[in-house]
Chain A
Amino acid sequence: QQQVKQSPQSLIVQKGGISIINCAYENTAFDYFPWYQQFPGKGPALLIAIRPDVSEKKEGRFTISFNKSAKQFSLHIMDSQPGDSATYFCAASIMDTGRRALTFGSGTRLQVQP
């Protein structure tokens, strides 16, 4: 059962444009939603995270929008740069139990063209 569905699989954006990646989850017990960025040959690195008590979180050019009723959350990258070209993973976990392991989406390969 795929608990976190991510789309699109790949995305091409022009420099300066907005990149949008979407995720939907099924388990209503999830209450922590991070986004990870992965460059080729590297491990994933935490980019930004949100908890469902807020609808939006912004850090620099990166914004998470969260819709609890729709069980969806998205990553917006404003003013996309070629250096943002990477694979992005959404994830979810349950904070109030001992099980904090992340359930990942399938990933989105972002290419920002100069």
Chain B
Amino acid sequence: DARVTQTPRDKVTEMGQEVTMRCQPILGHNTVFWYRQTMMQGLELLAYFRNRAPLDDSGMPKDRFSAEMPDATLATLKIQPSEPRDSAVYFCASGFVSGRYNEQFFGPGTRLTVL
């Protein structure tokens, strides 16, 4: 049963600390997305990668957020320094995006609380 995995599932940290979230996409998928979900903003795109290359990170605050995909089995999202307004659920999604196909499979999310 292939699925996207994310770690940690929950993270509580203090303002100013570095936070790293990890995602293992489904094997064979060529695209990885990072979304953030809050009550106020809903689901919003932060960044995405195609074949490990960053295609769009316009949704990310560049001064504190960074996203990387060091290999095909790992995507990371880092926040440094973290702020209370970063508190949200962060979802990683992967998919095989080609032609008419755009199904994205979401992981269970990382719930981040910044105190």
* Pairwise interchain contact B108-A102, C-beta atoms closer than 8 A: no
Among A12-20, A39-47, A63-71, the stretch in contact with B:
A39-47
- Write the chain A residue with the least CB distance to B99: A95
How distant is A67 from chain B, measured CB to nearest CB, in Å? 21
Q: Are A46 and B103 in contact (CB under 8 A)?
A: yes
With contacts A98-B50, A106-B42 taken as known, whether A93 is within 8 angstroms of B102 at the C-beta atoms is: yes
Interface size class of chain B, counting residues whose CB lies under 8 Å from the partner chain: 20 to 34
Residues of A within 8 A of B48 (CB): 100-101
Does B100 sit at the interface, judged by CB under 8 A?
yes
Contact with A along B32-64 (1 / 0, CB 8 A): 010000000011110010100001100000000
Partner of B55, one of A89, A93, A99, A106: A99
Residues of A54-72 whose CB lies within 8 A of B: none
- Please give the residue numbers on chain A whose beta carbons come within 8 Å of chain B beta carbons, in ascending order: 32, 34, 36, 41-46, 49, 51, 89, 93, 95, 98-107
